[in-house]
Chains A and B, each alone.
Chain A
Amino acid sequence: MTLRAAIIGYGKMGQIRHRAMERHGGFEVVAACDTHTGFDAGIPLMTDPMQVYDYDPDVIFCCVPNMMIPDVVCEALKRGKHVFSEKPPGRNSDDVRRMRAAEATRPELVLKFGFNHRFHDAIENARQLIAGGTMGDLYFMRGVYGKAGGANYAQNWRNDPDQSGGGILIDQGIHMLDLFLMFAEGFSEVQSFVQRKFWTDVPVEDNAFALMKSPEGVVASLHSSATQWQHKFILELYTRGGFISVNGILSASGTYGTEVLNVALNRLDQDGNPIPNPESQEIRFTEDRSWDKEIAEFHDAVVHGAPVLCGTSQQALDVMTLVERIYAADTDWTSQRAGHAARAV
Chain B
Amino acid sequence: MYTPVFIDELPDASTVSSRKSELYRLTRARGLTELLLDGTTPWHDRACPGCGQDRSQSGNFSQALIPFHRCSHCNTIYAAKVPAQAPLDALRARLQAERPEAHAEADAGSRQEFEFVSVLNWIRLTEARAATGRPLAQVLDYRFCSENPAWPGAVARLAQNRGWQFLPLAPDSEPLADLARTLRQSPPDAVLLNAELDRSADPRALLQTIRDHAPEGTLVFVATSCADGLEYEILGADSPSFVPLDRLNVFSVKGFEALARGLGYDCLEISTPGRLDAVILQRYFTEIESAAVPFWSGFFREADRDRLRDLQILLQRSLRSGVMRFVLKT
Flag if B125 contacts A279 (CB, 8 Å).
no
B8 within 8 A of A: yes
Q: On chain B, which size bracket covers the interface?
A: 20 to 34
Flag if B128 contacts A283 (CB, 8 Å).
no
Q: How far is the CA of A306 from the CA of B7 in the complex (A)?
A: 40
Among the listed B6, B129, B317, which residue makes an inter-chain contact with A128, where contact means beta carbons less than 8 Å apart? B129
Flag if B128 contacts A134 (CB, 8 Å).
yes
Q: How far is the CB of B121 from chain A (nearest CB, A)?
A: 5
Q: How far is the CA of A280 from the CA of B7 in the complex (A)?
A: 5
B155 within 8 A of A: no
B202 within 8 A of A: no
Among the listed B7, B113, B127, B128, which residue makes an inter-chain contact with A282, where contact means beta carbons less than 8 Å apart? B7
**Given A132-B128, A267-B114: A282 and B4 interface contact (C-beta under 8 Å):** yes
Among the listed A267, A277, A281, A284, which residue makes an inter-chain contact with B125, where contact means beta carbons less than 8 Å apart? A281
Chain B, range 93-141, C-beta contacts under 8 Å to A: 113-114, 117-118, 121-122, 124-125, 127-129, 131
Flag if A134 contacts B124 (CB, 8 Å).
yes
Among the listed B4, B114, B127, B131, which residue makes an inter-chain contact with A134, where contact means beta carbons less than 8 Å apart? B127
B91 within 8 A of A: no
Flag if B4 contacts A265 (CB, 8 Å).
no
Chain B, range 168-199, C-beta contacts under 8 Å to A: none
Flag if A279 contacts B118 (CB, 8 Å).
yes
Chain A residue at minimal CB-CB distance from B160: A241
Give the chain A neighbours of B131 by CB distance below 8 A. 128
Flag if A263 contacts B125 (CB, 8 Å).
yes
Binary interface encoding of chain B residues 8-46 relative to chain A, with 1 for a CB under 8 A from any of its CBs, else 0? 110000000000000000000000000000000000000
Flag if A283 contacts B114 (CB, 8 Å).
no
Q: How far is the CA of A283 from the CA of B7 in the complex (A)?
A: 11
Tell me which of A125, A262, A282 has the highest count of chain B C-beta atoms within 10 A of its own C-beta. Answer: A282
A182 within 8 A of B: no
Flag if B125 contacts A265 (CB, 8 Å).
yes
Chain A, range 247-267, C-beta contacts under 8 Å to B: 262-263, 265, 267
B2 within 8 A of A: yes
Q: How far is the CB of B106 from chain A (nearest CB, A)?
A: 15
Tell me which of A262, A267, A284 has the highest count of chain B C-beta atoms within 10 A of its own C-beta. Answer: A267
Q: How far is the CA of A262 from the CA of B8 in the complex (A)?
A: 12
Q: How far is the CA of A63 from the CA of B213 in the complex (A)?
A: 54
Q: How far is the CA of A134 from the CA of B130 in the complex (A)?
A: 13
Flag if B8 contacts A279 (CB, 8 Å).
yes
Q: How many residues of A contact B (CB 8 A)?
A: 17
The binding surface of chain B is classed by DSSP as helix
Flag if A281 contacts B117 (CB, 8 Å).
no
A129 within 8 A of B: yes
**Given A265-B121, A284-B317: A128 and B8 interface contact (C-beta under 8 Å):** no
B165 within 8 A of A: no
Flag if A279 contacts B129 (CB, 8 Å).
no
Give the chain B neighbours of A134 by CB distance below 8 A. 124-125, 127-128
**Given A128-B131, A267-B114, A267-B117: A282 and B125 interface contact (C-beta under 8 Å):** no
B5 within 8 A of A: yes
Q: How far is the CB of B105 from chain A (nearest CB, A)?
A: 19
Chain A residue at minimal CB-CB distance from B275: A279
Q: How far is the CA of A278 from the CA of B110 in the complex (A)?
A: 13
Give the chain A neighbours of B85 by CB distance below 8 A. none
Chain B residue at minimal CB-CB distance from A267: B117
Give the chain A neighbours of B127 by CB distance below 8 A. 132, 134
Flag if B124 contacts A281 (CB, 8 Å).
no
Give the chain A neighbours of B209 by CB distance below 8 A. none
Q: How far is the CA of A323 from the CA of B43 in the complex (A)?
A: 73
Q: How far is the CB of B313 from chain A (nearest CB, A)?
A: 8
Flag if A128 contacts B128 (CB, 8 Å).
yes
Q: How far is the CA of A282 from the CA of B2 in the complex (A)?
A: 10
Chain A residue at minimal CB-CB distance from B158: A268
Give the chain A neighbours of B297 by CB distance below 8 A. none
Contacts beyond the supplied A279-B118, A280-B6: 16 A-B pairs with Cβ under 8 Å: A129-B129, A134-B124, A134-B127, A134-B128, A263-B125, A265-B121, A278-B8, A279-B121, A280-B7, A281-B5, A281-B121, A282-B5, A283-B2, A283-B3, A283-B5, A284-B5
Task: Report the 7 A-B pairs with minimum CB-CB distance, sorted nearest first.
Answer: A279-B8, A134-B128, A282-B5, A132-B128, A265-B121, A281-B4, A129-B128
- Listed A/B pairs (23) with beta-carbon separation below 8 Å: A125-B129, A128-B131, A129-B125, A132-B127, A134-B125, A134-B128, A262-B7, A265-B121, A267-B113, A267-B117, A277-B9, A279-B7, A279-B8, A279-B118, A280-B7, A280-B8, A281-B6, A281-B121, A282-B4, A282-B5, A282-B7, A283-B4, A283-B5
